[in-house]
Amino acid sequence: MKHRLVLMAVFLGALMAVHSAVALPQRGAGILSGVVLGPNDKPVAHATVTYQSGGGTAPHIVHTDSKGHFSIAKLKTDNYDLRASAKGIFSEWEKNVMVRSGKTQFVTLQLIYAKEMPKPDAIDPPKK
C-alpha cells in the first residue's frame, strides 16, 4: 500500500510539472505576423514569406493563408529580415524588423513587378 501511494505521488507530481510547463508562455518569444499584398493592393493567398534573423541564421519559409495573412510564432527577440514572393513576383526585403518577447510585430509586404510586366493572369488567374 505504501509503495502504491509513493508511486501515485510521483506520478501526480510529474503530471503537474508537465501541465505547468505547457501552460506557461515561452520566455523570450515573440510573434511576427503580417499580410502580403499584390501589385494591385489585394491580399495574396498562398504566397511564400522567407525570413531570417538579423544574425544571419538560415532562412525559413512560411506561407500566407487564403486571405494573404501569415504568422510566425516563438521567435527569439532579435531583428528579422523578410521578403515575400508569389508566381515570380517579389517584395523588397523588409530589414531589421524588431521582434520582442511577448509582443506581436505586424508587417505588410508589397509584391512589386520585376523589369518585365507579367501577364495579368499570372497574379490573378481567370475565374472559372
Collect all residues with Cβ–Cβ distance below 8 Å to 106 and sequence separation of at least 6.
Answer: 33, 34
Q: Which CATH superfamily is domain 29-113 in?
A: Carboxypeptidase-like, regulatory domain (2.60.40.1120)
Distance of CA 27 to the CA centre of its chain: 17
Contact 6, 79 (CB under 8 A): no
pTM higher than 0.75, yes or no?
A: no
Residues 6+ apart with CB under 8 A from 116: none
Beta bridge partners of 84: 49
**With contact defined as beta carbons under 8 Å apart, do 51 and 76 qualify?**
no
| Helices and strands (H and E) in the chain: how many | 1, 8
Residues lower than pLDDT 50 in the chain = 5-7, 9-12, 14-26
pLDDT digits (tens, 9 = 90+) for 68-88: 999 999 999 999 999 999 999
CA distance 35 to 13: 44
Contact 75, 32 (CB under 8 A): yes
| Rounded Cα–Cα distance for residues 12 and 18 (Å) | 10
At residue 11, the pLDDT reads: 47
